[in-house]
Structure formats: structure tokens, C-alpha cells
Structure 1
Amino acid sequence: MTKNNAVSAFILGGLLCLGMVLLGNTIGDKLIKMKSMERTVTVKGLAEKEVRANIAIWPIRFTEVDNDLDSLYVNVQTKTDKVAAFLKQQGFDESEITISLPAIDDRLAQGYSDPNVKYRYSARVSLSLYTDKIDLLLSARTKMLSLAKEGIAISDQDYNSKAQFLFTKLNDVKPEMIQSATQNARQVAEKFAKDSDSKLGKIKKAAQGQFSINDRDSNTSYIKKVRIVSTLTYYLND
């Protein structure tokens, strides 16, 4: 090997070593940065909102008894018409009222006779009100006693006769509630970062929970509580 070749080989070897050192430092810096990026905090953000129901379904039921079937049918029709007229007087449209066929039982046809049963025939009558006039329905329920004067005993205490209130406008409140849940989660994450002498970074991962809609309480079922919980994971920086 000539002197010039030896010098060239020495210089080339030196450059390769220097390159390996620089490459190693660069990879090391990146690994350190990647490791620091692995520091995260996962928090949950809650958003709740009270809303009024916008749809109501009110089943109205009463029972009529008689020993004569023809008389029973006449009385059922008369009292059904009175209930429907009452609802219209309160301000509801005919299209909001549905009348079902009465369910009639012949107690003698059941194969046994109870001496305590005074009437042979019993008719269970059902009407249903489907409306978006929530305040009107609440007002009408307080006036149902007037039907008792017509000999119509409306029961609203059993489960099947209770008015059902629905909130169907979830899409109207979704954006606002998702934003509120995200802000709540960030506040929790910032508190954690501050307490751990860190700085809050960008969001690594976010998961939105399901919306739930429940009655605020048993006495005001027309007021609903909408709830959403979002889970977010943030990076932590020094």
C-alpha cells in the first residue's frame, strides 16, 4: 500500500467513525424524544344538561261493567266519546287521539262462576294521546277529576296508565355537550399536569361515550337529564 492510499484509507475510516457517532447521537435524541412522548394522562370529562321532554304518550284507560252485552257496548261508546271530547276541549287535535277496540271479558264463559261477581261482562277501554303539547297535557291531567262526574273513573296510578315523556332532540344538544365534556376533561388534565410539574401536550386519543337520557326524578318525568362522558388521553411534556 502506497503512502497516499494509506492516508486516504485513514481519512475514510475517520469519516465513517464520525458519521456513526453523529448517527448514533441523532437516533439517541429521537429515542429520548419518543420516550418523553410516551408520558400520558387519561382523564374523563362529564357534561350534563337538563331538558324538557318534547313528546308525550298518555294512555287513558277505564273499565265498564254490565250484565247486558248490548247495554255494555252502548255505555262504552258513550263514555269513550266523552273522554275524547274532554281531550279536544283541552286543546288537543283529533289526530293526536287514538281509540283502541275495547277488550271484553265474559266471566261466565271462563268456566267458573264467582258468587261475588256482580256483573257478567267487563270491558277494558283504552285511548292514547300522542302529542308534543307537553304543558297542555300536564294541565289536562289535573282536570281529569271532571270525568268522574260523568261516571268515568280514569286510573293514572298503575304503571300502564302513566304518561310517558320523551326527548327526541338529542342532535340539537350534542355539539354543545361534547364540547363541554372535552373542556371538562382538559381542565382535569391541566390540573394533573400542574401538580406533576409537567405541561399538557396534544391529545393522543379520544373516545366519546354514549349519551344517556333519564328522568330527573319520579315526580317530574317530563324533565330529562342528558349525560355524556368522554375519555381523553393527553401527552405530558416537561
Structure 2
Amino acid sequence: MTTSRSSHALIFAIGAIISAGLLSYGLITSVNDFRSFDRFVTVKGLAEREVKADTAIWPLKVVRAGNTQNLIYEELDKDIQAIRRFLLKNGFSDADISISAPNVFDKLAERWATEEVGLRYTGDQTLTVYTDQVDRVRTLRQQLSELGKQGVGLSGNNYDTMVEYHFNGLNDIKPSMIEESARNAREVALRFAEHSDSQLGKVRMAYQGQFTISDRDSNTPHLKVIRVVSTVEYQLVD
């Protein structure tokens, strides 16, 4: 009986030792895996392209002043038609052109008006060119003096008469730019791992930043700079 109990006790002790050993090995492995996973580097990769605008929006605003409404409407229409002929002669089509309704204001109708208002009526009207002929717009803007010589009352360089240049081909270059930014991020991570005596592991997380489109500078708004930054976390291993 005593021998049987001793054998059972011995078997139990051996099993306990083996279980404890397996548990210790599992804990050590888990800790090492956790420490390995806890070591990571976060890097950013930039992709940048300079592109040419593919669309121009060119508002041409005429202004007139006078003492009769009929005269204002006649002069605005005369100016708008002169601008239209000028544009058609220089390579644009009616499909590129839109014309807003004229705005005529009576100064005496304002609450703060007095009888000494000078010319009673002022009016304006805008013709807008929407086109993909960006270079033609840039060239023709330098020839607006021809309209001035015809007596067309063009408005000056106000905010609402500035040419807008846009780039609409972003979707065509998005994939290659994302790939480039991710590649640049990996190159940075590899250099970091090399300097820290580590090896680059798997990607833990990745974030694609927003694409931004901005003018290259204030003097060349028809040239755009497109940027995207990707943020990537890589695991570091020994």
C-alpha cells in the first residue's frame, strides 16, 4: 500500500514539474513575443508631383455708370458682346462662354443716399470662360488692352475677376503617388532599423494622409503641387 502511494506521489510530482516547465516556457515565449511586438518605429513617406492645371475659369466683368437705366443696360450688353467676339476670334467657342444677368443699382434707392450721388445708376455684368485651354487663357489675358481700345469698361484686378486654375486629374495619379509615399516610408524605416541594429518586421499600422493641391507659388497659379504623406508603423525584430 505504501509503495503504491509513493508511486502516485512521484508521478504527480513529475507531472507538476513538467507542467511548471511548460508554463514557464510559455510565459517566457509570450513575454519575448510581447517585447518584440512592442518594439516598433513610426515613419512618414512623402510623395510630391508638380502638374499643370487642366482647367481655367476666367471671369471678365464689365462695369458702367450713368443717369439712365436704359443707357446702362445698352452699354453693358455692348461690352459683353465685344468681349464675346474677341474670345471667339481667338480660339474659344460659345460652349466655353457663359454670361450672367446684368446687375443695375439705383444709388438714390439706398437708405443713406442723398441727392448728391453723382451718376445715379451703376451696373455690372460678367462673362465667364470655362475651358481646358489653359495656355490660351494665359496668352489672351495679356491682350486685354485690345478691348480697352474699343472702350470696353472692364473691371480691375478684383478678387471676383481673378482667373482660377484647377487640376482635375488627381484620380489618375493617386495610385502611383500612394505607392511612392509607402516606398519612401519603408526606406526611412530600413535606415532606422539599420542604425538601431534591428531588422524590419511586418507592418503594424498604416495611414494614408489627405492629398493636397496648392499653387507652386503666387506667380504661377497654373502650376500645381500635389502632396500626400503616408504614415506607417513597422515592427522591429532582433
User: Could you tell me the TM-score, scaled by structure 2's length?
Assistant: 0.91
Q: Indicate the residue corresponding to 2:218 in structure 1.
A: 218
Tell me how far 1:8 sits from its aligned partner.
Answer: 4.2
2:32 corresponds to: 32
CA distance in 2, matches of 1:136, 1:69: 36
In the aligned structure 2, how far is the partner of 1:36 from the partner of 1:13? 34
Q: Which amino acid counterpart does residue 55 of structure 2 have in structure 1? A: I
Cα displacement string for residues 144-195 of structure 1 (whole angstroms, at most 9, x for unaligned residues): 1110111013235221110011112211111111111111111111111111
| 90, 113, 116: which one aligns with 2:115 | 113
Letter aligned with residue 114 of structure 1: E
- Classify the secondary structure of the residue corresponding to 2:71: helix
| 1:54-77 C-alpha deviation (Å, 9 max, x unpaired) | 221111111122333323322222
Residue 205 (structure 1) shift? 0.6
* Matched letter for residue 194 of structure 2: K
Contact between 1:63 and 1:122, CA under 8 Å: does it hold in 2? yes
CA-to-aligned-CA distance 1:123-160 (integer Å, 9 cap, x gap)? 21211111111111112211111101110132352211
Alignment-derived partner of residue 132 in structure 1: 132
Q: Aligned with 1:192: secondary structure?
A: helix
Matches within 5 A, 1:159-238: 159-238=159-238
Q: Aligned letter for 2:74?
A: V
Aligned-residue CA RMSD (Å) = 1.8
Moved over 6 A (4+): none
Query: Does structure 1 retain, via aligned residues, the 8 Å contact 2:62–2:79?
Result: no
SS in 2 for 1:72: helix
Find the aligned partners of 2:66 and 2:18 in 1 and give their Cα distance: 108
| CA deviation string 1:189-234 (max 9, x = no partner) | 1111111111111111111111111111111111111111111111
**How many positions carry a matched residue from both structures?**
236
Per the alignment, residue 46 of structure 2 pairs with 46
- 5+ residue gaps, structure 1, are none
Amino acid at match of 2:212: S
Q: Gaps (5+ residues) in structure 2?
A: none
Partner of 1:94: 94
CA-CA distance at 1:5 after TM superposition? 4.7
Determine helix, strand or coil for the equivalent of 2:183: helix
Instruction: Give the percent of matched residue pairs that are identical in Structure 1 and Structure 2.
Output: 38
Output the amino acid matched with 2:221.
Answer: S
